[in-house]
Amino acid sequence: MTQYSALAVLRNALSGNTGWTRAWRDPEPKPAYDVVIIGSGHGVATAYYLAKEHGIRNIAVLDKGWLGGGNIGRNTTIIRSNYMLDGNTQFYEWSMKLWEGLSHEINFNTMVSHRGLYNLAHTPGQWDQMARRGNIMRLNGIDAELFTLPELKRRVRYLDYSPTARFPIYGALHQPRAGTVRHDAVAWGYARAADKLGVDIIQNCEVTGFLRDTAGRVTGVSTTRGDIGAGKVGMAVAGNSSLLADKVGLKLPIESHVLQAFVSEPIKPLVDHVITFGAGHFYVSQSDKGGLVFGGDLDGYNSYAQRGNLPTVEHVVTEGKTLIPQIARVKLVRSWGGIMDMSMDGSPIICKSPIDGLYLNAGWCYGGFKATPASGWCFAWTIAKDVPHEFNAKFTLDRFRRGVPIDEKGQGPVPGWH
């Protein structure tokens, strides 16, 4: 496999670009593997860390579609670790640390950009809450700054700061190390690195059921390309989690909802950071090509369709125009949707399932892209060692039964609100 480098680019430029090799193989499924991972989002990261950190190389990652066709390639690319609840804080900061060295580690430019993220505050109550969050972040060694209105105006000039605005801006909580990462490069980079370590990535291979022995242990999967045996099976299928778990008789505390993303026509550089407008459900960054990449809230109904509806488009662009009036005439050129696995407390599940041989990775809501490295790393640890790492020890399935949710937003058990 070609080692990507400036020299490789030069060498190939001089030889008509004929020397590049395939980034990953397209193997036929084998009859059995030590570990089968279902889903090629967090699944490819999991396979990579299983092979690299735990020496397990007889692995298949199965996906019903194409690599990167799920939420890993549909999100708005924001990474951050501005959490404040025990469990979330350590986990998301670990992910941020893994992002920092990722491109070098997997020899793939994932375009990690620490451009900073501003969470806008619009009420005195929100401002107090942000001060509390920022203090907790700093006590945990995570970067955070609180900006008053004059300082925010100096740094971010283009927002509507008028005191008569529908939601006047009070200030902002800023995380300087937060930013964006090119999402599909993450899927491709992890896939290439896992493939290099011997992992089979098998696309167009839908898991339709589970194989079990007489004791009930999961021993493999039925797929559209035949049965595949497995010592252990990991499930990382996002919005399809409840449907797939149902096939093994497991009921998950997860609802599936659509979340849409939008890209405008390219404009000159304006937004050189990420802005979130929580009061109005709008957030935005700008891609290197100039498009404003933005999103808002869930479509609000349960769905398994990877597309949304026009009222949400209208709602989100209206919020954008409220916050940044000068984008009123910018054209919207693309939009798409992804199926979110909304958990009852807004936090994920990474654990052994109650069924022997089956491991769960789900409940990412709309924040699982930034978790990709830590999710893969912790899921690999849990599958390899049969115990959670301390970073995912709180992300159990039975926390809902035991009544110890990790409710970062304090919204209660309403998955559509997290």
- What is the contact surface with ligand FAD in residues (CB under 6 A)? 38-42, 62-65, 69-72, 74-78, 206-207, 236-238, 240, 244, 259-261, 295, 338, 364, 366-370
Structure tokens at 388: 């959670």
Decide whether 206 or 407 has the Cβ nearer to ligand FAD. Answer: 206
The minimum distance between CB 308 and ligand FAD, in angstroms, equals 9
Cα–Cα dist 182/274, whole Å: 14
Decide whether 330 or 339 has the Cβ nearer to ligand FAD. Answer: 339
User: Cα-atom radius of gyration of the chain, to the nearest Å?
Assistant: 22
The minimum distance between CB 163 and ligand FAD, in angstroms, equals 30
Residue 203 near residue 65, CB atoms below 8 Å = yes
Decide whether 120 or 170 has the Cβ nearer to ligand FAD. Answer: 120
Decide whether 72 or 156 has the Cβ nearer to ligand FAD. Answer: 72
Decide whether 127 or 415 has the Cβ nearer to ligand FAD. Answer: 415
Where are the extended beta strands (E) located within 303-357? 332-343, 349-352
SS3 category, 342: strand
Amino acid of residue 225: R
Q: What are phi and psi of 313, to 5 degrees?
A: -60, -50
The minimum distance between CB 4 and ligand FAD, in angstroms, equals 23
Decide whether 170 or 353 has the Cβ nearer to ligand FAD. Answer: 353
The minimum distance between CB 17 and ligand FAD, in angstroms, equals 29
Decide whether 64 or 122 has the Cβ nearer to ligand FAD. Answer: 64
Amino acid of residue 85: L
The minimum distance between CB 173 and ligand FAD, in angstroms, equals 17
Nearest to 156 by CA among 111, 119, 112, 114: 119
End-to-end CA distance of the chain: 42
The minimum distance between CB 148 and ligand FAD, in angstroms, equals 27
Q: What are phi and psi of 230, to 5 degrees?
A: -155, 140
Q: Which residues, 6+ apart, have CB-to-CB distance to 246 below 8 Å?
A: none
Decide whether 156 or 340 has the Cβ nearer to ligand FAD. Answer: 340
Structure tokens at 1: 């496999």
Inter-axis angle of helices 372-385 and 88-106, nearest 10: 100
Decide whether 128 or 246 has the Cβ nearer to ligand FAD. Answer: 246
The minimum distance between CB 71 and ligand FAD, in angstroms, equals 3
The minimum distance between CB 151 and ligand FAD, in angstroms, equals 25
The minimum distance between CB 303 and ligand FAD, in angstroms, equals 12
The minimum distance between CB 338 and ligand FAD, in angstroms, equals 2
Strand partners, 145: 174
Strand partners, 391: none
Alpha-carbon distances, residue 295 vs 33, 78, 160, 286 (angstroms): 39, 11, 18, 12
Structure tokens at 312: 């949400």
Nearest to 271 by CA among 297, 304, 293: 293
Amino acid of residue 33: Y
Residue 175 near residue 144, CB atoms below 8 Å = yes
Decide whether 61 or 127 has the Cβ nearer to ligand FAD. Answer: 61
